[in-house]
Chain A
Amino acid sequence: MKHMKNISIVLIMMLLLSAFTVPTKGANDGYKIGDVVSDFKLKNIDGNMVSLADYKEAKGFIITFTCNTCPYAVMYEDRLIALDKTYAPKGYPVIAIMPNNTSLSPGDSFEAMNERAKTKGFTFPYLIDKEQTVYSKFGAKRTPHMFVLQKTDKGNVVKYIGAIDDNYKDASAVNTKYVENAVNALLNGKEVEQKETKAIGCTIKA
């Protein structure tokens, strides 16, 4: 009888644990390739609110979830600027979104974002996801995490999710430029070949 009781306690605990695990998994799922993204309105470092709808001329977007404090994100800053310089004139501007909870990560505060953008000379908006709702909708898991969107009649459709390229350490040693390949394919009216890639990054601080 005592043994039975122990088993039932274990069972109840397992149930409780699974009850806690399932919702988090669901919330983290986010957009898949082919999904239409709902627009957002987030505050840029210059104080203005930015939405995708503001970009009337854009053919699509290179969205990056990034921050000041993750070393991987920092290693990719120059490559983000280069992407924006190349692809904004072609209709695919970079939009950077900082998803971290700034009380857990003070180095990502609005002021710190402003400073970092000035120091690096960001050519693109650097938005703060203050309510932390946008990154979870996208299903961004880490910084940096890239989403390439194509503007269509249906709305902005997700065409690529993943890393910028295949060598975080050394831009000159990169073999495959995933984001460039994706945007080039879209600009040429072709299907993106490599639609998803994985990379190590810093967990978003929620």
Chain B
Amino acid sequence: MRSSVFLAFLLVLSACNTGKHKETASDATIAVQQEASSEVNDVDLEIYDYDGFEAFLNKKDNKVHVVNFWATWCAPCVKELPYFEQLNASYADENVEVLLVSLDFPHLYESKLKPFILKNKLASKVIVLDDPDMNRWIPKVDSLWSGSIPATVIYNKHERKFFEQSFTYSELENELKSFLN
């Protein structure tokens, strides 16, 4: 089931690619590429070290915050991103906010991360955590985190749960609901 979702996702991705290549004349292709790169420049990435990022894990407002750690190179993360997007869209009016924290490598922000955000039209807020001293900050996110991704924190001002696992949409929704009741 999961692999079929992923396959569908791949198909969609490749469909996008072939779509672009259908512009037959080489000039047109160049124009498309230029357009794409200017769009990439329009993506404003907020980049934080852990000290700057920490506030995102400790908001004292009336919202439920779903914070997902992911990266474009992490296949299981990419597979579950649509579920976080769906959650963000479906529960926005119930005071739920999804934050996608990318752990992509800095030298790939322009070539991989920004194009990925554009191509997948990510609607949830995406920020980047760039802090190589991982042994210092991983335990601060959660003492149980071994460091593998995907990993997710769900919290409100009263309670907090940490998950070092992949989610299906219904698993994710169930966890969220325990915060909404």
Q: Which of A175, A178, A202 has the most chain B CB atoms inside 10 A of its CB? A: A202
* From A169, A198, A205, contact of B132 by CB (8 A): A169
Known contacts A71-B105, A198-B145, A198-B147; A203/B135 CB under 8 A: no
Minimum CB–CB distance from B11 to chain A (whole Å) comes to: 18
Report B-chain residues with C-beta under 8 Å of the C-beta of A155: none
Decide yes or no: A200 and B135 within 8 Å by CB, A141-B147, A141-B148, A142-B146 being known contacts.
Answer: no
B149 CB–A CB distance under 8 Å: yes
B148 in contact with A203 (CB, 8 Å): yes
Closest to B132 in A: A167
- The A contact surface, by secondary structure, is loop
Contacts of A142 in B (CB 8 A): 146-148
How far does the Cβ of B92 sit from chain A's closest Cβ, in whole Å? 25
Chain A residues within 8 Å of B30, by CB: none
User: Bound complex: CA of A71 vs CA of B71, how far in Å?
Assistant: 11
- Is B103 part of the binding interface, using a Cβ–Cβ cutoff of 8 Å? yes
Interface-central residue, B133, B146, B150, by most chain A CB under 10 Å: B146
Asked whether, in the complex, the Cβ of A197 is within 8 Å of the Cβ of B135, the reply is yes
A168 located at the interface, meaning its Cβ lies under 8 Å from any Cβ of chain B in the complex? yes
B115-153 interface (Cβ within 8 A of A): 132-136, 138-139, 145-150
Complex interface: chain B residues within 8 A of A173 (CB): 132
A198 touches B149 (CB 8 A): no
Per the 8 Å Cβ criterion, residues 144-181 of B in contact with A are 145-150
| A93 surroundings in chain B (CB, below 8 A) | none
Chain B minimum-CB-distance residue to A70: B73
In this assembly, does A201 line the interface, its C-beta being within 8 Å of a C-beta of chain B?
yes
The 8 Å CB contact of B148, one of A71, A166, A202, is A202
Residues of A within 8 A of B74 (CB): 202-203
B134 x A166 contact (CB < 8 A): yes
- B residues in contact with A175, CB < 8 Å: 133
**Given A71-B105, A142-B146, A142-B147; A199-B135 close (CB under 8 Å):** yes
A198→B164 CA distance, assembly (Å) = 14
Contacts of B149 in A (CB 8 A): 200, 203
With A and B bound together, what is the CA distance between A167 and B132 in angstroms? 5
A198-B139, A200-B138, A202-B74 known; A169-B105 Cβ under 8 A: yes
B134 touches A198 (CB 8 A): yes
Residue picked from B75, B105, B132, B145, most chain A C-beta under 10 Å: B132
Closest to A168 in B: B132
Chain A contacts for B73, CB-based, 8 A? 70-71, 202
B133 lies within 8 A of A166 (CB): yes
The yes or no answer to A91 lying at the interface (CB within 8 A) is no
Which residue of chain A is the closest to B130 with respect to CB atoms?
A169
Residues of chain B with a CB closer than 8 A to A166's CB: 132-136
Residues of A within 8 A of B150 (CB): 203
Given contacts A71-B105, A198-B139, A201-B148, contact A168 B134 (CB under 8 A): yes
A163 to B103 CA separation, bound complex (whole angstroms):
17
Would you give 7 A-B contacts (Cβ < 8 Å), ordered by A? Answer: A141-B147, A141-B148, A163-B134, A197-B135, A199-B135, A200-B147, A203-B74
Instruction: Please give 7 more A-B residue pairs, beta carbons under 8 A apart, in addition to A199-B135, A202-B74.
Output: A166-B132, A166-B133, A168-B132, A168-B134, A178-B135, A198-B135, A203-B149
